[in-house]
Structure 1
Amino acid sequence: MENDVTLAQIEFRNVTKTYGPVVAVNDLFLSVRCGEFLTILGPSGSGKTTTLMLLAGFEAPDRGDIFIAGKSVAAVPSYRRDQGIVFQSYALFPHLNVGRNLEFPLEMRGIKAAERAKRVDSILARVHLNGLENRMPSQLSGGQQQRVALARALIADPPILLLDEPLGALDRNLREQMQSEIKSLHKEFGITTVCVTHDQEEALTLSDRIVVMRGGRIEQTDTPEAIYDRPATQFVAKFLGEANILENPGFLIESEAAQPPGTVAMIRPERICVAALDAPKRVDSEQCQFVTGTVENMIYAGPLRKYHVRVGPTLLVVREHVASGRRALQAGEAARLEWLRSDVRFVAA
C-alpha cells in the first residue's frame, strides 16, 4: 500500500540524509496520496523534521529521490516548489501588517494588486480575522498569529501544505480550537497536507494516516484508529498513548489468539475496568480475564481517574471515566481488574 504510486502525489524513494556521522533519515520509502492529511510522528531525533525539510527543499538528500506529481524535485530549490508552509514560530514578517503578510506570496507570483486584495479579503473571512488586515503581528494573540500563518500558506492555492509543529506554541485550549480549524480547512481546501509533530493527540485528531518514525526509519504507518488499536511494535504502543506491556506479568495471559513468537502482550489502560472485590462482574464476564491486585495510587484528572494497580510483580495502569455515583478506589484498597480477552494485542518486542 505504501508504494502505490497511482495514488501518490508525494513519494520518497530510498531517501537517506546524514549530518556527519548521524544518519537522520535512513533509506526512507514513503508515499502521500492526493488530498491526504498525513502526520509524521516521533520523538526528538527520529528524523521527522528532516523528512519535512527534505520535502520543503530546505535540505537535499544524500541518496535517493523525492517525487511530486511524478516529477523529481530533489534538485529543485524550495522557492520553486509550489508548497505552503507553516512553521512552529509562524515566521510572520514583523515589519509588515497582516494584509501585507498575506499579499507577499501572491506578489512573488506576479499576481496583480486587485486580485491580491480580493484574495486577502476572502482568506481573512475564512479564518475569522475580518478587519484585522492593518494589525501588526505583535498586536495579535497566539491563535490569531497561527490563523494568519495558515492563511498565508493557503492564499496562493498550493497543491501541498507543510506543517512543522504548527500548534506547539499554543496553550491547550487554543491548540484544541486550532485542531478543529485545521481539520475544517483541510476538508474545505482538499490540499495534500504533511504535518510533523510530537503531539500524539494532535496526530490522532488531524490525520488520515500517521507515520511513526524512530531512528530515521518508519516504524509503522496506518490510520489513527488502526495504529492506536493495533500497534506493530512495543515502541509504537508506548509512544502513541499509554500501554501496559505484559512481559512476564506473573499471571497467565488469556487471549483470543495464540501469541506469535518474538512478541509481548499489550493492553491499553482504558480497556481495563477496575472495581472493588465485592462489586458485580461485567455482563460479558464470560469473555473477560480477571485478576486481583492492590491500588497503589489514584490520580484525579477531571473527567478521568487514573489508577496504578499492583498485580504481583506487575504495575498496571488503568484509566476510567468518572461516572456519577461511582466510588473512587483509594491507595491500599484491594481491587479486581477485568478486560476482554479480545482487547489483548501482541506487539513486536
Structure 2
Amino acid sequence: MQIEFRNVTKKYGQIAAVQDLSLAVLRGEFVTILGPSGSGKTTALMLLAGFISPTEGDIRIGGHSVAAVPSYRRDQGIVFQSYALFPHLTIRRNLEFPLEMRGARAAERETRVDRMLERVRLKEFGDRMPSQLSGGQQQRVALARALIADPPVLLLDEPLGALDRNLREQMQSEIKSLHKEFGKTTICVTHDQEEALTLSDRIVVMRDGRIEQIDTPEALYDRPATRFVANFLGEANIFENPGFNMECDVTPPLGSIAMLRPERICIATRAAPQPPDADWRQFVAGTVEDMIYAGPMRKYHVRAGRSMVIIREHVAAGKQIFGIGEKVRLDWLRSDVRYLIT
C-alpha cells in the first residue's frame, strides 16, 4: 500500500471531525474523497498533508508512519483550490522554487522547468506573473509545480472549485492525462460528484466524519449501499411508500427501500406498444407534472401513485415531448431496481 489511514480520529475538543478512519490506497491509484460540508473530507486531506496531527491512530506513506512528521518533510505535491502561487514570482520562478528547496542545480532546474512548461502548454508564459494568466492557466501552473519535483504522492484540495463549468471540464481531462502520464498516487478532495466520477479509480464517500461507502465510480453510482450515497451521488428515485407494488427479481433485504436512477426509466404514451423485453419490465401509469429542458437532457416529473418520479432522457430528433398534464406510461427493467439500507 502507498497510503494507509489506520483507525485515525481527529477531535477538536469533544467534536470528532474524523472518526476511526481506515483507508488503504494503492500505488498509482487516483482516489477521491467525496462528501458534503462537514463530512470530514478536508480534515482527512489535511491529516495526510501534515498540516494537522491525528488525535488517535496512525497514517503511513510507503510503509512508514508519518503521523508525527511535519508537512515540509513529507515528499508530497499539493494543489489548493486557490492555486497558492507566489504572486511576486514569475511562472518560471514558481516552478523552480520546489526544485531549489530540494537542492537541484541551476542547469537541472532550467531543463525540468522547460520540460514541464511545455507539458502543460505554457511554454511561452514562463516570464509572466500569475496575475497575467487566466484561471485555467494558473491551475495548470499549480499542477506543474506540484509535479515538477517528482513526489510519489499528489494531493488535490478542491482543485477545480474556482473554475467555471467549461474550464472545469477541460481541466478534468488535463488532470486525467497528467495522472496517466506521471502515475502519481493521488488523493483528491471535492464535493463535486461529476468531478469525482470522471477522475477517480475509487471514490470514498464520507458522512459525519466516517466512511459511508468505498467503491469504483460505476459501482457507487449503480449500486449505492445507503440512501445517503444514492442521493448524494446523482439523482435517485426513492420508493418508500409509492402507492403501487414494486416488482423485483430478488427478495428485498429486511428494512430496505427501493431506489431507481432517473435515466433507467422510460416514458411513453399509455397506448404505446410494449417493448420487446416487456416480460422483464414493470409498467406504471402516471401524469406529467413538470418538464425541464436542460440542453442535452430533458427531465420529467411524473406523478405515479403516491410518488413523484423523476425521469431523465437524452434530447434527440423525433423523440416525443410530453406536456404538463399528459397521461403517460413509465416502465423500467425490474433488474435496475436497487435496495438500500436507510
TM range (shorter): over 0.9
SS in 2 for 1:310: strand
Q: Give 1:131 deviation, angstroms.
A: 1.2
Q: Quote the Cα distance in structure 1 between the aligned partners of 2:291 and 2:15.
A: 42
**Which of these residues, 136, 140, 151, is aligned with residue 147 of structure 1?**
140
Amino acid at match of 1:285: A
Match of 2:323 in 1: 330
Deviation track 1:87-133 (CA, whole Å, cap 9, x = no partner) reads 00000000001000000000000101110010000001111111110
In the alignment, is residue 58 of structure 1 matched against residue 51 of structure 2?
A: yes
**Which of these residues, 222, 232, 257, is aligned with residue 215 of structure 2?**
222
**Which of these residues, 157, 178, 202, is aligned with residue 150 of structure 2?**
157
In the alignment, is residue 346 of structure 1 matched against residue 331 of structure 2?
A: no
**Which of these residues, 84, 98, 104, is aligned with residue 97 of structure 2?**
104
In the alignment, is residue 117 of structure 1 matched against residue 110 of structure 2?
A: yes
In the alignment, is residue 189 of structure 1 matched against residue 189 of structure 2?
A: no
**Which one is further off, 82-91 or 256-265?**
256-265
Amino acid at match of 2:127: N
Q: Give 1:347 deviation, angstroms.
A: 0.8
SS in 1 for 2:124: coil
Identity of aligned residues (%): 74
Deviation track 1:119-175 (CA, whole Å, cap 9, x = no partner) reads 000001111111110000000000000000000000000000000000000011110
1:264-279 equivalence runs, <5 A: 264-279=257-272
Match of 2:125 in 1: 132
**Which of these residues, 4, 7, 12, is aligned with residue 19 of structure 1?**
12
Q: Quote the Cα distance in structure 1 between the aligned partners of 2:7 and 2:243.
A: 44
Q: Quote the Cα distance in structure 2 between the aligned partners of 1:255 and 1:97.
A: 62
Match of 1:241 in 2: 234
**Which of these residues, 305, 311, 329, is aligned with residue 298 of structure 2?**
305
Match of 1:77 in 2: 70
Q: Give 1:279 deviation, angstroms.
A: 1.9
Deviation track 1:188-241 (CA, whole Å, cap 9, x = no partner) reads 000000000000000000000000000000000000000100000000000000
Q: Give 1:248 deviation, angstroms.
A: 1.2
Deviation track 1:270-304 (CA, whole Å, cap 9, x = no partner) reads 00001111222222111100000110000001111
Match of 2:246 in 1: 253
Match of 2:203 in 1: 210
Deviation track 1:48-107 (CA, whole Å, cap 9, x = no partner) reads 000000000001000000000111000000000000000000000000010000000000
**Which of these residues, 25, 38, 47, is aligned with residue 45 of structure 1?**
38
Q: Quote the Cα distance in structure 1 between the aligned partners of 2:277 and 2:322.
A: 22
Match of 2:192 in 1: 199
Structure 1 unmatched ranges of 5 or more: 1-7
TM-score where L is the length of structure 2: 0.99
SS in 2 for 1:131: helix
TM-score where L is the length of structure 1: 0.97
Q: Quote the Cα distance in structure 2 between the aligned partners of 1:143 and 1:323.
A: 32
SS in 1 for 2:125: coil
Amino acid at match of 1:202: E
Deviation track 1:239-286 (CA, whole Å, cap 9, x = no partner) reads 000000011111111111110012101000000001111222222111
SS in 1 for 2:2: strand
Q: Quote the Cα distance in structure 2 between the aligned partners of 1:281 and 1:326.
A: 17
Q: Quote the Cα distance in structure 1 between the aligned partners of 2:298 and 2:104.
A: 56
SS in 1 for 2:229: helix
SS in 1 for 2:53: coil
In the alignment of these two chains, the number of paired residues is: 342
Match of 2:85 in 1: 92
Q: Which 4+ runs in 1 deviate beyond 4 A?
A: none
Amino acid at match of 1:193: T
Q: Quote the Cα distance in structure 2 between the aligned partners of 1:280 and 1:170.
A: 46
